[in-house]
Amino acid sequence: MTVELLPDLVLCVLLLVVAWSALFASTRRDAMALFVAFGMIVALVWARLGAPDLALAEAAIGAGLTGVLLLRAARKLPVSSARRFDYRRHLGALTFIVVAVSGFAVSIILPSPADITANNIDSPVAAAMSDSGVSHQVTAVLLNFRAWDTFLELLVLLFAITGLRQLFPIEKESLEPARTWQLLVSWTRTLVPLLLLVGGYLLWRGSSGPGGAFQAGALLAAGCVMLRITGMLPPLHWSSFAVRGSVCAGTLLFLCTAVLTHSLGAGWLDYPEAHAGTLILMIETLATLSIAIILTLLVAGERKDLCS
Amino acid sequence: MNDALLSLVTPLVAALIVLTGPAMTPRRASVVVLLGSAFSLAAALLALQTVTASGATQTLNLGGWEDGLAIRLRLSPLSALLLAFTALIHLLAGLYARFSRFASGDDFWVLSAFLHTALAALWLSADLFNLYITLELIGLAAVAMVALSGPKAYQAAADYLLLSLAASMIYLLGVVFLYSEYHTLDVMQLASVSADSARTRLALALITAGLMLKGALWPLHLWLPAAHAGAPAAVSALLSAVVVKGPLFILWLVWTEVAPADLAREVGPMVATAGMIALVAGGWAAMRSPYIKVLVAYSTVAQLGYALMALGLLMSWQIPQMHIALWLFVIAHGLAKASLFMAAGEMQGTLGTRRLTGLRGATQTVPIAMFAFAVAGGSLIGLPPSGGFLAKWVLLEPILSQPQNWPWAFGILLGTLVSAAYIFRVVVLAFDRATINPPDTRPHLMGHWLALLPALIVWGMALLGEQLIGLLAGGGV
């Protein structure tokens, strides 16, 4: 037992305690606040596990944007009375947890022969890094080796926003805008330029270190959401070409790259080696734009934004 | 492979044009998407021709990376056939949605093109994680399309979304266990290294449970009737005809390739039994349903039982006839069900009722739609010479040749009787011309004829029977 394990132990205990209290909180508001705290602790855990990419994504999307989404959704719900936890409604989730935990526990206790022989499982990735056009392994996997997955993930966002548009069929009185709370406004004024800077940095940094389109897009979206809910940003009208164009931009560039590499180059998404780095940066830039706009619409979108 | 990729890209291009194009009215959107479907169908047919002429399955390592690093796409005669089938169903449903009087919602076009893309990506993929993403895409598009019906369908759409996400999580957990055991996600690599171990069994169980929930296979089918019955008719047609077949495809891929053969042999009878129960239980529920579309939706649960049974017997006997039977069922059911849902939608709209009893005298008031319903129903029952008959014949042949297999034949017989019962229940009501339920509006004939079209195609399948069997006879993939 070394001293270095102490922070990890604290994190583990904290994670369980916060998860438990989020599940069993007496009011909805407490549960949501605890959920955001839970997201932040998960981000810390990822950072401790040496996965800063995941930590950034978790902090930005899991804690930040999801938290805003929950709070906004709660405003539309009736005030909840104290609820009792009913185990029967959660049997499926409980079974899932038991199976998952026992499966992982068995994996740790009894490593399969393959684990021992293939100790260094990312060796094919490491071997191919020099041809990938970037120097960070996660980016190389996401944007080059398994670029098709990332392309389809961008489509997931596009599908989600098109789906969300179906939920505003009737003209309804939208919520009264949040009271312009002066502290929030000044905080937003300070934070948004910083978010823009950090988002741009993460995007640029992605080719050589942790970062990249999803993290940068999520941060930019966080800035846009703050501007949108304080009323400093006018509604993003779906009918405007700029909005629809930026929603589709990442997908369009990715698709064009795929089709052009296929018809003129070596094959589907087979980047020419000399230009791989530039291409990846271009795709990431437009993808960041698309992700930022789509996440903003998903979190802060109202009828004004999506159906006019 | 070129043609297959073209077939995948065209609907996506159509969707992006609809999303970004200036002044895109629903009418223009419909033209773009229908053209996309037609091109996609042509490309898929070309791909089918190339792959059957060369006789070999083609693979493509995306990005040109070596096996294990790249995602592999695979074009086999089966995937080419499914590409063509998906494009055909989208074309038929699109034509119906375009010309029918009953609106499907403005965003039907972009969503159906999205769904088409996701399905095409699924048929071509040979990578378990990539398949997971395609499943997510299909689920999202399908949920959004259920919500096209407006607020009354939100409950069904929300349930569908939550169950679909839960199913994805379960599937993904299984994939994680497989990856931690074998360090690869590629189906062909997994096929060569997989062995019978506790972790593999757990992984396969999780993957199977997730896919059965996604594909509404008995006993995890309870979300299906509400979602499929709540959607607009053209959407229901797409959901029942192609969407539930996606998870079935992955299930087939996992159990015939990834799973060790001995394990598959062991599990096969259980899967086949689930299929047999689905046949009877789904048929029974359809027979007792008071609503037209719910009846048709439960009939999907029952008909998927045939496919599940063919899959189970394929796993336990490992004979190519079952492979042929499975995919013939999928195609015949898809076409017939598209027709049934469109006809049900037309009758429901024209007669102004969702209740089955409202169909009294439908042979007189909405004769063409009713004819479409009966003809498509005939294929579900398996009357010769329809596609349903062809599939059932291929399925029954190896079962009847061995006396110890006769219990399975009994199950199929029971299933056939139940499907005949629920189809004839509708037909009998429709011939009750003594107490006619008068239509609200004059029937809109174009929609009725378009509802009949898939049913005619499924009866025409018999003409292509030999080619289809020959195409699928190539074996596994």
| pLDDT (0 to 100) of residue A95 | 84
Segment A102-118, tens digit of pLDDT: 888 877 776 655 554 44
- Cβ partners under 8 Å of residue A85, min gap 6: A23, A24
Q: Identify the CA nearest to B370 among candidates B287, B288, B449, B286.
A: B449
Residues of chain A with CATH 1.20.120.1200: 1-85
What is d(CA A216, CA A222) in angstroms, rounded to the nearest whole number?
10
Amino acid sitting at position B90: H
Q: Note whether residue B466 is domain-resident.
A: yes
The DSSP symbol for A301 reads: -
- Asked if the Cβ–Cβ distance from A255 to B154 is below 8 Å, we say no
> A130 to chain B: which residues are within 8 Å by CB?
none
Q: Note whether residue B92 is domain-resident.
A: no
> B63 to chain A: which residues are within 8 Å by CB?
144-145, 147-148, 267-271
Tokens (6 digits) for B130? 């990539």
Residue A275 binned pLDDT confidence (cut-offs 50, 70, 90)? confident
Measured from the Cβ of residue B136, the count of other Cβ atoms closer than 10 Å reads 22
Amino acid sitting at position A262: H
- Asked if the Cβ–Cβ distance from B130 to A148 is below 8 Å, we say yes
Range of the domain at B266: 261-477
Q: Note whether residue B197 is domain-resident.
A: no
Q: Which of A155, A263, A297 to mutate to test the interface with B (most CBs of B within 10 A)?
A: A155
**C-alpha B360, offset from chain centre:** 30
- Asked if the Cβ–Cβ distance from B63 to A145 is below 8 Å, we say yes
Q: Identify the CA nearest to A225 among candidates A306, A299, A151.
A: A299
Q: Which of A90, A106, A146, A264 to mutate to test the interface with B (most CBs of B within 10 A)?
A: A146
Mean pLDDT of chain A: 84
The ipTM value here is: 0.91
- Asked if the Cβ–Cβ distance from A155 to B180 is below 8 Å, we say no
Judge whether residue A14 has pLDDT over 70.
yes
> B134 to chain A: which residues are within 8 Å by CB?
152
Please tell me the distance in Å from B304's CA to the nearest CA on chain A.
24
Please tell me the distance in Å from B386's CA to the nearest CA on chain A.
37
Nearest-by-Cβ selection for A166 from B2, B20, B144:
B144
What is d(CA A216, CA A289) in angstroms, rounded to the nearest whole number?
9
Nearest-by-Cβ selection for A124 from B69, B73, B133:
B69
Find out whether B231 and B145 touch, Cβ atoms under 8 Å: yes
Q: Note whether residue B114 is domain-resident.
A: no
- Cβ partners under 8 Å of residue A263, min gap 6: none
Q: Note whether residue B462 is domain-resident.
A: yes
Please tell me the distance in Å from A199's CA to the nearest CA on chain B.
26
| pLDDT (0 to 100) of residue B35 | 95
The DSSP symbol for B59 reads: E
| pLDDT (0 to 100) of residue B477 | 47
Q: Note whether residue B199 is domain-resident.
A: no
Number of domains comprising chain B: 1
Q: What value, to the nearest 5°, has the Cα angle with vertex B230 and ends B226 and B234?
A: 125
Mean pLDDT of A190-197: 93
The string of DSSP codes covering B318-366 is: --HHHHHHHHHHHHHHHHHHHHHHHHHHHHHHHHT--BGGGGTTHHHHS
Segment A229-271, tens digit of pLDDT: 888 888 888 888 899 999 999 999 999 999 998 888 788 888 8
Find out whether B70 and A145 touch, Cβ atoms under 8 Å: yes
Q: Note whether residue B24 is domain-resident.
A: no
Instruction: Pick the residue from chain A with its C-alpha nearest to B185.
Output: A146
Find out whether B18 and B110 touch, Cβ atoms under 8 Å: yes
- Asked if the Cβ–Cβ distance from B69 to A148 is below 8 Å, we say no
- Asked if the Cβ–Cβ distance from A169 to B151 is below 8 Å, we say yes
Q: Identify the CA nearest to B443 among candidates B380, B326, B331, B349.
A: B349
Mean pLDDT of A292-296: 93
Nearest-by-Cβ selection for A248 from B16, B71, B181:
B16
The answer to whether domain A1-85 has CATH 3.30.980.10 is no
Which has more pLDDT, A303 or B99?
B99
- Tens-of-pLDDT digits for all 477 residues of chain B? 889 999 999 999 999 999 998 888 888 999 999 999 999 999 999 999 998 888 778 888 888 888 888 899 999 999 999 999 999 999 999 999 999 888 778 889 999 999 999 999 999 999 999 999 999 999 999 999 999 988 888 999 999 999 999 999 999 999 998 998 888 899 988 888 888 888 889 899 999 999 999 998 888 888 888 888 888 999 999 999 999 999 999 999 999 999 998 999 999 999 999 999 999 999 999 999 999 999 999 999 999 999 999 999 999 988 888 899 999 999 999 999 999 999 999 998 888 888 988 888 888 888 999 999 999 999 999 888 888 899 998 888 888 888 888 889 998 999 999 999 999 999 999 998 888 888 888 878 888 899 999 999 999 888 888 888 888 886 544
> A244 to chain B: which residues are within 8 Å by CB?
19-20
Q: Note whether residue B9 is domain-resident.
A: no
What is d(CA A225, CA A68) in angstroms, rounded to the nearest whole number?
9
Tokens (6 digits) for B468? 């289809």
